[in-house]
Amino acid sequence: MRTYISLQAPHRWVQVDRAGKPVSSGVVEELDSPEVPIANSMIVGVVPGGDVTIREVEIPARQRSKVVAAIPFALEDSLSADIETLHFSLLKWAPGTPAQVGICSRDKIDQWCQDAADAGLRLDAIVPDFLLLPLHPQSRMTVARTGDNELAVRSADGSALVLDEDMLEYWWQDLDEESRAVAVNDNAIARKLVAAGGSQVSEWNIGDNFTSWLANQDEPPSLDMSLMQGDFEAEHRGNSSIGLKVAAVIFGLSLAIKLGSDGAEYFWLTKRSDQLNTEIQQIWAKTFPGSKQVDPFTARIQMENKLNQLRSGITGSGDFQQLLSVVSRAVPQSEARVEEVAFRDNELILTCSTADFAGLDRFKQRIEQSPDVSVELQSSSSRDNRVSGQFKLTRRGA
């Protein structure tokens, strides 16, 4: 059995059987609600796809460990945030093929783990919601409306993203012809794609969140795509977790005392493990009084992340999708019309037109309301009773 639960409110949950078919579901106000079935079940935390970026990168290595070690440096020049503030997960890879990588803020995944620990949940995996989208057997891609202006997208090749509806046309035009066989859960979006030239667009009533999406899966989603890798890797947890910790301690001591261990030592180690866990909780509560408890498996990593955050003041990350999100909110508010969009060297070059020069000023002011984005008007001109301006947008600190 698996229980999928959203780590961000509203806390939707669904329990599936071994075949991946839902047996019960619901929505709770708190993660530690007794309504959520966690006994004898793997716990999979589901997080917003908008907080995760999927990238594909070529790495000439034949061993998985070397690929994992090379990923941050292979992507460093294309990221606007310091790689030390980011967490990288290898989601899909085979020798000789590009690696698909999940990227999110270390602060985010640290907070997700801490929230789960506070609620008494021992997570076996964390997955972004868009990777739970089902794929229609006759389509290459699924597009699902998940909010008022937000779309989740998943392709058969494993890529996925969150897209603002205002950017739908630009995204669609950039696809190759093979990828344009798409299943959509929303009639209005389907009509937009058909109007943009789509000839292989079909409607698929799969709902607007992962609890419904799982019901349309042919088989249980692979947990290889979990974000809990590296420092955050989940160990085998459950009722036997204390026994495993004791076994690990005994194994380490056996090397020092030439494999010598007896029942008395085992009993002592069990008590010592309980004492250490209690001390961890006490130190954590004293250092970070806002948290109820800490997961002993990730205590060191969570402590380091919080201390690094306090030292540097660096939080969060930015990317192409976030710049588009800022633009999509500013366009209707300033009555601007987007003419061209280009992204290179971590800069979004945007050409838009308004009725007058004051409209360009309003558009720029709307962009400047976002504290994470810098905007610069590079040029402006007037033609055919409209004013056109070219803007450069970058993430602050990039």
> Residue 210 pLDDT more than 90?
yes
Q: Who's near 368: CB < 8 A, 6+ residues apart?
A: 375
The angle subtended at Cα 326 by Cα 91 and Cα 335, nearest 5°, is 140
The residue ranking higher by pLDDT, 253 or 174, is 174
Q: How confident is the model at residue 331 (pLDDT cuts 50, 70, 90)?
A: confident
Mean pLDDT along residues 209-231 = 89
Tell me what percent of the residues of the chain surpass a pLDDT of 90.
Answer: 35
Residue 149: the pLDDT is: 84
What tens digit of pLDDT does each residue of 65-78 get? 899 999 999 888 88
> Residue 300 pLDDT more than 80?
no
Q: Rounded to whole angstroms, how far apart are CA atoms 100 and 228?
A: 15
> Residue 398 pLDDT more than 70?
no
Residue 287: the pLDDT is: 67
The conformational region for residue 302 under phi > 0 = left, psi -120 to 50 = alpha, else beta, is alpha
Residue 238: the pLDDT is: 39
What tens digit of pLDDT does each residue of 344-385 get? 878 889 999 998 888 899 899 888 888 878 899 999 998 888
> Residue 84 pLDDT more than 80?
yes
The model's pTM is 0.62
Q: Rounded to whole angstroms, how far apart are CA atoms 309 and 77?
A: 22
Mean pLDDT along residues 271-298 = 69
DSSP assigned state of 227: S
Mean pLDDT along residues 170-199 = 87
DSSP assigned state of 316: -
Residue 110: the pLDDT is: 92
